[in-house]
Structure 1
Amino acid sequence: MKTLIRSTLLAVIGIATMPTAHAGEIWRATGLEQPESAFFDAAGKRIIVSNIVGNPSEADGNGYLSILSLDGKMVAQHWTDGMDAPKGMAISGGMSPTSRKSASSISKTASSCRPSMCRIPSFSTT
């Protein structure tokens, strides 16, 4: 029993005295308007950021997607625009769904899209 108490006490002291990790700012992106989501596209080596620009619940066509390089530099501020408060992103099979898009805004990035999905054009940052 003494061994268990001693081991527990040493474990607690060891955990309490461990140095904590601190996150620091590496870079800061500028030029975004009301950014809501950021998505790391490993295949495209880029970061896609949704910008709501206005009331998040209105279908006003003011939203857009921006492309950042991996070091936070703006590659394309209005990569696609005319969106209705784009929120949340994922890539599946070359498609990038966001929770709110209008069919008219998607026509800039694809010739045929369903209102909730659009093809991501290949985009080189070099």
Structure 2
Amino acid sequence: MDDNDEARFREFASAQAHGLRRSAYLLCGDWHLAEDLMQNALMRIYRAWSRIDVAEPLGNYARKVLLRAWLDEWRLRERREPVPDLADAAPAPPSTPSATGHATRCGAGCGSCRRGSGPRSSCVTSTN
């Protein structure tokens, strides 16, 4: 990269840095990560500066690079975080009908109390 390209990149980076940081914050919701994403995007643009087509608006290209940097970070974070074991997190089913609370509410000894129905069911007792 020659001095002219270096000066053009510095001018571009200083003009676009604030907008890229705000866009990165909208993507990730964290100002510190947004700063890292902006720097990562500017670093990628710097490495490809000699190959960038000047006909394409550079701001659009920078946002595209920023989005791809965020996707890379998101994918890496997804790989690093352990997946919780769902078998350990499942609650144990109630063992007795009174554990659902229905038998204590009813007290009539209806059929649904003996069957051990779920917590949202109710029984109807008729008085003749």
**Both structures adopt the same fold (TM-score exceeding 0.5):** no
Q: Which has the higher helix share?
A: 2
State the TM-score, normalized to the length of structure 2: 0.30
Q: Which has the higher strand share?
A: 1
**Larger CA Rg, structure 1 vs 2:** 2
